[in-house]
């Protein structure tokens, strides 16, 4: 079974940084594209960033230039480096293999003064 465990969230001030991690198991991690999503209260879950198995990245416009998605195929960990955080980035962040149904438990990111 595919299992994903997100971690690294927390409370940070506007302009601050966090690095999220997603530890994967039950899959041949290196062969899959991976995604980060987020969901704020009362809002739809939205795609934040995408990375292919070959390391090509794409970002939602609202995070481009601020967030960086990366992966460690040996450790089977997906990362999201989040810089210049804004209050509107507050959400639960989830990782997922592209085209796969499994979600992790998510990790809460709160950006507030």
SS (H, E, C) 39-59: ECCCCCCEEEEEECCCCCEEE
pLDDT for the residue 105: 97
Using 50, 70 and 90 to split pLDDT, how confident is the model at 92?
A: very high
Using 50, 70 and 90 to split pLDDT, how confident is the model at 36?
A: very high
pLDDT for the residue 4: 97
Using 50, 70 and 90 to split pLDDT, how confident is the model at 107?
A: very high
d(CA 25, CA 3) in angstroms, rounded, equals: 5
Using 50, 70 and 90 to split pLDDT, how confident is the model at 22?
A: very high
* Arithmetic mean of pLDDT, 51-74: 97
pLDDT for the residue 24: 97
Give the rounded percent of residues in the chain with a pLDDT score beyond 90.
100
Chain centroid to CA 56: how far? 15
């Amino acid at each position: 079974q595919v299992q994903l465990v997100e971690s690294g969230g927390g409370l940070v001030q506007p302009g601050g940084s966090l690095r999220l991690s997603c530890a994967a198991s039950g899959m041949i991690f290196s062969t899959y594209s991976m995604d980060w999503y987020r969901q704020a209260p009362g809002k739809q879950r939205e795609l934040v960033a995408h990375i292919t198995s070959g390391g090509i990245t794409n970002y939602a416009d609202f995070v481009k230039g601020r967030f960086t998605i990366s992966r460690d195929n040996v450790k089977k960990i997906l990362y999201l480096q989040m810089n210049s955080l804004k209050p509107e980035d507050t959400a639960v962040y989830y990782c997922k293999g592209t085209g796969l149904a499994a979600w992790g438990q998510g990790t809460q990111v709160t950006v507030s003064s």
